[in-house]
Structure 1
């Protein structure tokens, strides 16, 4: 798959995750989480670490896609990713705003260290 195809797949998975969250479909969400992790690993393994391509999704209409794009690009674009997480937190859009807030707190406390 090309980087653009991987980014499109990432977004598709993110939208599906959002529906799984809203429907309280934990098993489905977990499967989608694993699929997204595989996409991120593929991007990370590309020459130059192509996770930067996730920044293209910062203006995606779906909040879950933006949240996951920001979280998964923290290691390669920490300032931009942090700004996106702050914006999601400030939106008060549940449940993503809460997740963004906890991610920021974990970063600030040194609990979460992006790699």
Structure 2
């Protein structure tokens, strides 16, 4: 989805697109389709940037995905909301890590470690 089309989408449409992209990303990872996975990361970043650019930084809208049935969607939402809802996002990352649902549990654990060490600073 191009940046030009993202700015015409409602916040709800962006959240829905974010979730659908996360599900597709999970499927690509399970099918070992790294090229598709990487292209989908670009889409995730674009939606996050669009939400961030909206008045009041609308990335908080992604918090409704914290209970999504797909673990990758929850992981993406936690990462995207670290700057706007740090306590809730960290709690979700801990829950994902403790679930031992791979590979997302490993990614959540690495994110928490990098946050604690100051290697990663959400913006």
TM-score norm. by structure 2 comes to: 0.93
Following superposition, the deviation at residue 100 of structure 1 comes to 0.1
Q: 2:24 matched to 1:16?
A: yes
| Structure 1: gaps of 5 or more residues | none
State the 4+ residue runs in structure 1 displaced beyond 6 angstroms.
none
Distance 2:29 2:89 in 1: 22
Paired residues, number: 115
| Structure 2: gaps of 5 or more residues | 1-8
Deviation per residue, 1:72-113 (Å, 9 max, x gap): 100000000000000000000000000000000000000000
TM-score norm. by structure 1 comes to: 0.99
CA RMSD of aligned residues (A): 0.3
Out of 33, 46, 54, the residue aligned to residue 54 of structure 2 is 46
Distance 2:105 2:32 in 1: 17
